[in-house]
Structure 1
């Protein structure tokens, strides 16, 4: 304990020493105010000004500290606004010391002798990141975690533990983000999060997204932005939040890139690999990516349904073989110093074949041994492909940040499957009863999305304004052809075949404004969306039309009590539109005893999100949240006690309330250990209007996680990681989910000037990441369990080469529409 206390005292002295040295140095040798502009007397004891770079462009978000030179007392703090402007009111006529810091610029310290009635400074920051003041070096460094008014930022380069790691590893350290193995990325308290890179949504499958993030070195990232309550400029759809990964920007001409490969061993082996390539020359820049993989996965699952007169226990296993490829190419051209035009093309292809077997044991009432057995085998190959073309244009009106951006998108998605299943009935002795069925179904879906969007940003001295509009047209066509097979012949079954067409048009306008006032920041926005839909079942000759207009307000407030203490509040209203498949009224049979049925009358769900946040330095991030969901929709599996067929139907029947607290704690007790820990305690309450479910279900739960990285040598080239998480039992919708947890270990070594990385990772070592769901529907209890084969060992290698290229901000307008294809 005394040793630990000594370490903390030393750390405090190290932290305070540069401030004292700087103050002493400037007392003995004041810095001439060489960067100041003309001083005009226009008022009384107010110091204001503007911060610009060497080209005269304004610099927002610069941190300013104002000291009294006589005794080094900190008087005031400020942050430059979007125009680069700042102001210190109510000052005395005395000599002051002003320090200006920004991550991308040289620290500047200047002495202001005997402030006049009103003094205006035009401060020019150098592009270098450090400066030497009479032998004392002052280095600019952003905090590891920053609180912006509408998002939380993880500055990746300030994390020592991320050396030689991937973007996926970096996401694990972002406040409030939960990465479950190699399967999902979520914001704690939300689900189905959308991931963007440089403000461009990544529209690929979950597996492809994981491969892209694993192939992207963390050293290429500038920051990760976690947007739990998206502002008005983003689509109002979805309640999952956004994660924006921003890459570093560098104007060094030339080529750069990375390649990586991974071998993954679970029950069966899998492989994947990919790379990125960047090139910048003059006014042209190009970026290309490619990823491919081949996987073989094994999983198990089942369910147990208790009917009034019998119990049906299903046990299933499946083997999924998949191959996928995704690639992209983007080209930018600077027309002049104020205009940029670009195009990006993305393509994905996937081929998946799933072979599964299900044994259904039937226990009559009061019996412990089965009376009969139903064996079902299923063979389903699925092909998917998509193409996305995005055009974008940006025009800067002046150097103050006034700009216009426009984007147009076309997205094409094609999916086809060919399913065959057989079902045989057996007596307990293993003898066939003679009852059997053999069927085949073919299904396809084609989705086309056309989108256009315009955004305008107008920063003024007194506030910043932004507005824009978006128009979207969606055309979805799907079909299912069902065949009964008898005596080796297939017979078309029109009663189980279907064709469905769906169109959707949405027009949106938004307006947003923001302002800074002393230690306060305010931002408010309003988005209006008008939607018209038309669903037509060709099979049933049924057409359903719907139209609605809704407003979606957002509000943010931020208070910086001190430089290292920040309080925030946010509110946002969101909409969740049903996916296209949920609106199809047809019954699709997955087996003789189960089907899925859509609902063309399904309505959108709405949610209101409230958040209170507090940050203390890099150490602590706290969040209180409340989510209220109205008119929620979901699927319900309703078992029929007579036919024993379970029908999965879609309905609006949920009212949900979720509230809780999230604590994120980032510790570095010694220089070789970085520990990131998260705790969430929350309560979920669901009210149901459907008589087949419980009318009310709720309960408390918690989620704990700890990610610990150990630097094993002084060079920082050998690192080890131990991470674990535990999910307590929780309420999810109308179901109760049991506890599950995971323990992961990894190690990585960096070689060849840290350009080459070899990593070994073991996931779910204890094989405890198993989900068990308890449900109660139509008066009958049901239990579902699954384990998709999460326990794996992964060996990966990655190599970075060349100069760092320039990455420009991408503009995409069809983010939400493509997300609904899944």
Structure 2
């Protein structure tokens, strides 16, 4: 029996505005304080003695030789570079160390008013094989890093991520937003590509929003955001690329970790082990998860035309999600010139959702009882071989196979207010996917540090949807409708990039990419009362030349200005194309559009970043113009039925600014704010909308004595515009406390999501010429979890980094 839910009061985020402003003030004040009183300056670059490649995260210690006491310390960036500012006159020495390398100390040198700067062009580190008897704690990376071509969020350093999902992790990534349904946007655009370890995964092939809720956060090491990809990357992903990097270890010896989370909204169990002896290595992980959620929804639809009925809905829903994610990998390095890797991954998921809803319109009151059962599984196989001809020449051969299955069942029974049967609809959909990728890459580095990269790639995709719609009505014969869809997409590409410097001041990265796309689809459909299948098909071939240009200049070693231009393509995939009708209820239906065209985007960006002491600041201005922009469009599809389907709506222009950074006002306190502001202008033949939208977030933590760390995260998102309305504002927060145990081998963490509100509310408005629809969804989002982590094993020097496929060319989609 349906029960009317209690109204949930709306919450306001303004009570935390002061905290945001105060933290931003502290951030700016700390940054300005560190810039004042400049004296001497020391810069340098640390490289591997054998390969001459930069050594990232090496610890550099500055010692005053007169007192023999360290006066400052830092870690190298992605280019192996480091810098010390505000150094007083005196005589100093530098010590450099990194796990797997022999430590080195440079001869003493002197800074004076006559010689206030000292530069070390190249500091070589030699690899060693000295074993560590236990897992060691190395220098912790900052939460946010700017690595020139990408922004990196080091998720493993954020204690509030423990016992959550990938969807929760992405909420904290700069420039990324995640809405109530788990849909992801990058700088206000949902047309992006999400990868796992630089590769596509079958788990992400269908519904991206649901897939991200299945990936445990405990396996995520970091998240990379690439907003201006070079020609080396696949051309697709209008807004850019989000790359989820999982935890793996390439160190000698045997080591691993286990963790478990128990909470009111979810439970997780994870384990991983890594082993490497000489030329052979292996790693494996197994992750189980289960989560639940409850929500309440309210919807009103007001007609603007007399032939359309008003509609009012109130409902309650519950979702249960269980599954596993596993990975097994092997590496073999027979010598310093050759490297092989083979990796397998597997996932399984089971989802059960129930929804009870009261619907009232001009015809009276009806009760809906909706059940949604979804089972998904898939596997990925990756192979890679890299051969180094000389220290400056490298050839990689890569291959990948992805296969996934998806089985959806929607079962909706409709009754009168007196519980008498009216009708029932049962939708059944099988949607397998299969993808093969072959890739060849060659890199040549010259003596003047310029670099040539070229390669070729082929992606062969096949996606199928077999749907059956069963209708049962009172006093009417049963009926069946069939909708089968087979979609093939093949992409063949070549690329060429060249990076070089001019006058040791300007850095250029020029590239071009050619892609040829072949798509074809076949439909086999019936009407409700026609048993005969009708065949139809389509075919479309097109080609694109994709240029990319990036120019940067670094001033005084610590200030870098960068300008870039590139084109991007957005090819719709099976979720956007699948014509299977997914009914949340008989009044709200979602269906893909197999006639979608690809988007083409021109992307311009001007960026600036700087760092000094413990502070880094990153800022950018960007502009995107997208032709054939894909938006979700709502139309009347029958009496009181709204059909939502993606469509091309002409042009979408976005003007924006993004600012992020991190600082440590004191050694144990870190602050990482992030701000994004954009103006969106959607213009089509029949639809248009425009407006400002912004996002503000703050992540701050403090390390107390005795191994205790506390952390707070808050995120506010303003209303965002769509082609036919807007999504309302919302606020998300998290508080965590972590305690290290067992000589830092273990930790216990308490994580509370949304401690200031019982629910997380999302509103939306659809405003058309024929109706106005307003909805509010309230998710019971106060989540409490307790997580235990334990690390074990021995390890020593690291191995070379393997190459991987990056299929960043397609939009995954979501409701």
Give, in whole Å, the separation in 2 of the partners of 1:438 and 1:287: 49
Give, in whole Å, the separation in 1 of the partners of 2:693 and 2:787: 36
Give, in whole Å, the separation in 1 of the partners of 2:568 and 2:758: 37
Instruction: Say if 1:354 and 1:10 are closer, same or farther in 2 by CA, change over 3 A.
Output: closer
8 Å CA contact 2:400–2:437 kept in 1: the answer is yes
Which one has more relative contact order, counting CA pairs under 8 Å at least 6 apart? 2
634, 656, 662: which one aligns with 1:660: 656
- Equivalent residue number for residue 649 of structure 1: 645
- Equivalent residue number for residue 259 of structure 1: 258
1:706 is the counterpart of 2:695: no
SS of the aligned residue for 2:537 comes to strand
- Equivalent residue number for residue 412 of structure 1: 403
Q: CA deviation at 1:198?
A: 4.7
SS of the aligned residue for 2:576 comes to helix
SS of the aligned residue for 2:217 comes to helix
Q: CA deviation at 1:740?
A: 1.2
- Equivalent residue number for residue 788 of structure 2: 797
- Equivalent residue number for residue 87 of structure 2: none
SS of the aligned residue for 1:204 comes to helix
8 Å CA contact 1:451–1:814 kept in 2: the answer is no
Give, in whole Å, the separation in 2 of the partners of 1:299 and 1:795: 23
| Deviation string, structure 1 residues 396-454 (Cα, Å, up to 9, x no partner) | 11112x1111111111111112332111244xxxx47x771122222111111111111
Give, in whole Å, the separation in 2 of the partners of 1:562 and 1:377: 66
User: What residue ranges of structure 1 are gaps of 5+ in the alignment?
Assistant: 24-48, 66-78, 86-95, 113-120, 130-138, 365-370
- Equivalent residue number for residue 696 of structure 1: 688
- Equivalent residue number for residue 686 of structure 1: 682
- Equivalent residue number for residue 313 of structure 2: 314
556, 568, 572: which one aligns with 2:566: 572
User: What residue ranges of structure 2 are gaps of 5+ in the alignment?
Assistant: 1-21, 61-75, 82-90, 111-119, 129-137, 526-533
8 Å CA contact 1:759–1:795 kept in 2: the answer is yes
Give, in whole Å, the separation in 1 of the partners of 2:332 and 2:293: 43
SS of the aligned residue for 2:50 comes to coil
8 Å CA contact 1:730–1:737 kept in 2: the answer is yes
| Deviation string, structure 1 residues 49-84 (Cα, Å, up to 9, x no partner) | 998644364548999x9xxxxxxxxxxxxx9999x9
Which has more radius of gyration? 1
Give, in whole Å, the separation in 2 of the partners of 1:588 and 1:10: 55
1:301 is the counterpart of 2:297: yes
Instruction: Say if 1:593 and 1:280 are closer, same or farther in 2 by CA, change over 3 A.
Output: same
Equivalences for residues 99-498 of structure 1 within 5 A: 106=104, 108=106, 125-127=124-126, 147-153=146-152, 175-177=174-176, 187-191=186-190, 194-196=193-195, 198-201=197-200, 204=203, 209=212, 214-216=217-219, 225-244=224-243, 252-266=251-265, 270-307=266-303, 308-309=305-306, 310-362=309-361, 364=362, 372-400=364-392, 402-426=393-417, 431=418, 436-462=422-448, 463-485=450-472, 491-493=478-480, 496-498=481-483
Give, in whole Å, the separation in 1 of the partners of 2:268 and 2:407: 24
736, 739, 746: which one aligns with 1:749: 739
- Equivalent residue number for residue 667 of structure 2: 671
- Equivalent residue number for residue 628 of structure 1: 625
739, 742, 763: which one aligns with 1:772: 763
Q: CA deviation at 1:147?
A: 4.3
Root-mean-square deviation (Å): 4.2
Instruction: Say if 1:489 and 1:294 are closer, same or farther in 2 by CA, change over 3 A.
Output: farther
Give, in whole Å, the separation in 1 of the partners of 2:589 and 2:770: 19
Instruction: Say if 1:594 and 1:183 are closer, same or farther in 2 by CA, change over 3 A.
Output: closer
8 Å CA contact 1:229–1:572 kept in 2: the answer is yes
- My pick for the range that moved more, 649-658 or 755-764, is 649-658
Give, in whole Å, the separation in 2 of the partners of 1:664 and 1:13: 18
| Deviation string, structure 1 residues 17-50 (Cα, Å, up to 9, x no partner) | 9x59x99xxxxxxxxxxxxxxxxxxxxxxxxx99
Q: CA deviation at 1:232?
A: 1.5
Q: CA deviation at 1:200?
A: 3.8
Equivalences for residues 501-650 of structure 1 within 5 A: 501-517=486-502, 518-539=504-525, 540-585=534-579, 591-617=585-611, 618-639=615-636, 643-650=639-646
8 Å CA contact 2:759–2:779 kept in 1: the answer is no
8 Å CA contact 2:237–2:809 kept in 1: the answer is no
- Equivalent residue number for residue 55 of structure 1: 50
8 Å CA contact 1:255–1:803 kept in 2: the answer is yes
Instruction: Say if 1:699 and 1:12 are closer, same or farther in 2 by CA, change over 3 A.
Output: closer
Pairs aligned (count) = 720
Instruction: Say if 1:608 and 1:264 are closer, same or farther in 2 by CA, change over 3 A.
Output: farther
8 Å CA contact 1:595–1:646 kept in 2: the answer is yes
8 Å CA contact 1:571–1:608 kept in 2: the answer is yes
Q: CA deviation at 1:335?
A: 2.7
Give, in whole Å, the separation in 2 of the partners of 1:471 and 1:256: 37
- Equivalent residue number for residue 71 of structure 1: none
SS of the aligned residue for 1:599 comes to coil
Give, in whole Å, the separation in 2 of the partners of 1:60 and 1:275: 29
Instruction: Say if 1:292 and 1:588 are closer, same or farther in 2 by CA, change over 3 A.
Output: closer
Q: CA deviation at 1:756?
A: 0.9
8 Å CA contact 1:481–1:492 kept in 2: the answer is no
Q: CA deviation at 1:193?
A: 5.4
Give, in whole Å, the separation in 2 of the partners of 1:240 and 1:249: 28
8 Å CA contact 1:606–1:631 kept in 2: the answer is yes
Q: CA deviation at 1:651?
A: 2.2
SS of the aligned residue for 1:231 comes to coil
Q: CA deviation at 1:208?
A: 6.3
Give, in whole Å, the separation in 1 of the partners of 2:31 and 2:633: 59
Instruction: Say if 1:264 and 1:61 are closer, same or farther in 2 by CA, change over 3 A.
Output: closer
- Equivalent residue number for residue 116 of structure 1: none
Q: Structure 2 length normalisation: TM-score?
A: 0.78
Instruction: Say if 1:647 and 1:778 are closer, same or farther in 2 by CA, change over 3 A.
Output: farther
Give, in whole Å, the separation in 1 of the partners of 2:155 and 2:365: 56
Q: Structure 1 length normalisation: TM-score?
A: 0.78
8 Å CA contact 2:551–2:563 kept in 1: the answer is yes
Give, in whole Å, the separation in 1 of the partners of 2:236 and 2:223: 22
Give, in whole Å, the separation in 2 of the partners of 1:109 and 1:199: 41
Q: CA deviation at 1:655?
A: 1.5
Q: CA deviation at 1:288?
A: 0.7
Q: CA deviation at 1:769?
A: 3.1
SS of the aligned residue for 2:629 comes to strand
Q: CA deviation at 1:301?
A: 2.3
Q: CA deviation at 1:11?
A: 7.9
8 Å CA contact 2:512–2:547 kept in 1: the answer is yes
8 Å CA contact 1:678–1:705 kept in 2: the answer is yes
Give, in whole Å, the separation in 1 of the partners of 2:563 and 2:575: 37
Give, in whole Å, the separation in 2 of the partners of 1:633 and 1:171: 22
Give, in whole Å, the separation in 2 of the partners of 1:416 and 1:631: 31
SS of the aligned residue for 2:384 comes to strand
Q: CA deviation at 1:484?
A: 2.5
SS of the aligned residue for 1:538 comes to strand
Give, in whole Å, the separation in 2 of the partners of 1:586 and 1:10: 57
Instruction: Say if 1:438 and 1:572 are closer, same or farther in 2 by CA, change over 3 A.
Output: same
Give, in whole Å, the separation in 2 of the partners of 1:81 and 1:686: 38
Instruction: Say if 1:312 and 1:632 are closer, same or farther in 2 by CA, change over 3 A.
Output: same
Instruction: Say if 1:14 and 1:277 are closer, same or farther in 2 by CA, change over 3 A.
Output: farther
- Equivalent residue number for residue 484 of structure 2: 499
8 Å CA contact 1:201–1:812 kept in 2: the answer is no
Q: CA deviation at 1:516?
A: 2.0
Q: CA deviation at 1:727?
A: 1.4
Give, in whole Å, the separation in 2 of the partners of 1:435 and 1:143: 60
Q: CA deviation at 1:746?
A: 1.3
| Deviation string, structure 1 residues 673-721 (Cα, Å, up to 9, x no partner) | 211111222211111223xxxx3211122221111112222x4x10111
